[in-house]
Amino acid sequence: MIVAEIMSTRLVTVRPDDTLSHAANLLRQYQFHHLPVIRTVSVPLSASEHSEQSAQRSLRIIEGLLTSHDIDMAVAVSKSSASSDVLHQPWQERRVSTLMHRASIRVTPTTDVAAAAQLLVDRGLNALPVVSYEHVGDETYPDLVGLLTRSDLLIALSRSLGAFEPGMQLVIDLPVGDLTPLAQALQFATELHVPVRSVVAAPMEGNVPQTAALRIGTINPAPLLLRLQEANIHYTFADPLKEGNTHAR
């Protein structure tokens, strides 16, 4: 999976010389937590893009990111300042450029999602600008094409696990990382025409997976569970209609 498949592309942006009041209103209006800060650059159209109406196109060059937390901190500092300080500039009148974070860490649309997630975790970030590097003459411009947030990753994970599809999850034991039980379970599901929404076999500890999670699209798993029991395949499944887990072997 690559970043282009899960990133947010409907972006609301601000410019470095916009006021914090304007940025705060945008964050409140759209219920966002991050605003990309951009400047616009016009570049010539390539031969394949040439249009009779315009010989140029605009690029959104990423300058930084402004967060709701940044504005909250500016408001707090403003309130704590002495009211008699006539030289103190109200936070609403400050420019975005005085508070934004330089977006030096970026990814591209073709970056692997796992690599992007690792960047977010390692650097303690909540969002990454997604840029496409445009080469115009001797210049290279980081054109903003999207934003990848932790929320985007969580939604993508939920979808990959089939959380938005009806059904239930089976957890198959994989003794010493042996994938044979998983292969057998998938074969049984195919024979019984049980839809498999997703399969995850990732090592949570160590170097080999100890379990595999199957999201099956059925509310009647009994035939598949019977085949698993006959094959002596250990499993756990969670019934969404009941509290707790059911264990079987």
8 and 106 in a single domain? The answer is yes
Q: 158-162: long-range contacts at Cβ-Cβ below 8 A with a sequence spacing of 24 or more? A: 160/1, 160/198, 160/200, 161/197, 161/198, 161/200, 161/213, 161/215, 162/197, 162/198, 162/215, 162/217
Residues 113 and 98 in one domain: yes
What is the predicted pLDDT for the residue at 85?
A: 55
Q: Are residues 67 and 175 in the same domain?
A: no
- State how far the Cα of 128 lies from the Cα of 105, in Å rounded to an integer: 7
> In this model, does residue 27 exceed pLDDT 90?
yes
CA 109/CA 183 separation, integer angstroms: 33
Torsion region of 167: left, alpha or beta (phi above 0 gives left; psi -120 to 50 gives alpha): left
Cβ-count burial of 158 within 10 angstroms (0-12 exposed, 13-18 middle, 19+ buried)?
exposed
71 and 94 fall within a common domain: yes
One domain, residues 68 and 153: yes
140 and 200 together in one domain: no
Instruction: Based on the fold, state whether residues 190 and 233 are members of the same structural domain.
Output: yes
Same domain, 85 and 69: yes
Q: Is there a contact between 87 and 110 (Cβ–Cβ < 8 Å)? A: no
Structure token pair of residue 47 = 């031969």
Confidence at residue 109, expressed as pLDDT on a 0 to 100 scale: 96
Q: Tens of pLDDT along 141-195?
A: 889 999 999 999 998 888 777 666 777 888 999 988 889 999 999 999 999 999 9
Instruction: From 157, 192, 214, give the residue that closes a domain.
Output: 157
- 51 close to 105: Cβ distance less than 8 angstroms: no
Neighbours of 237 (CB within 10 A): 19
Of the three residues 157, 175, 190, the one that is the final residue of a domain is 157
Residue 118 tokens, joined: 């690792």
Q: What is the pLDDT of residue 107?
A: 95
Q: How far apart are CA 125 and CA 88, in angstroms?
A: 31
Residues 39 and 124 in one domain: yes
- Apex 158 CA angle, 153 and 160, nearest 5: 90
Angle CA 103–109–111, to nearest 5 = 85
State the pTM of this model.
0.72
Query: Rounded CA gap, 23 and 243, in Å?
Result: 45
Query: For position 202, which CATH number holds?
Result: 3.30.70.260
Phi, then psi, of 40 in degrees rounded to 5: -100, 135
Cα separation, 188 vs 190, whole angstroms: 5
Q: Identify whether residues 37 and 137 lie together within a single domain.
A: yes
Domain boundary, last residue among 127, 142, 157: 157
Return the higher-pLDDT residue of 79 and 188: 188
Residue at token pair 């957890």: 171
Residues 63 and 180 in one domain: no
Q: How many domains does the chain have?
A: 2
Residues 112 and 224 in one domain: no
Q: Is the pLDDT of residue 84 over 70?
A: no
In this predicted structure, what is the pLDDT of residue 246?
46
Q: Which two tokens stand for residue 87?
A: 């030289």
109: CATH: 3.10.580.10
* Amino acid residing at 102: R
Domain that holds residue 109: 3-46+54-157
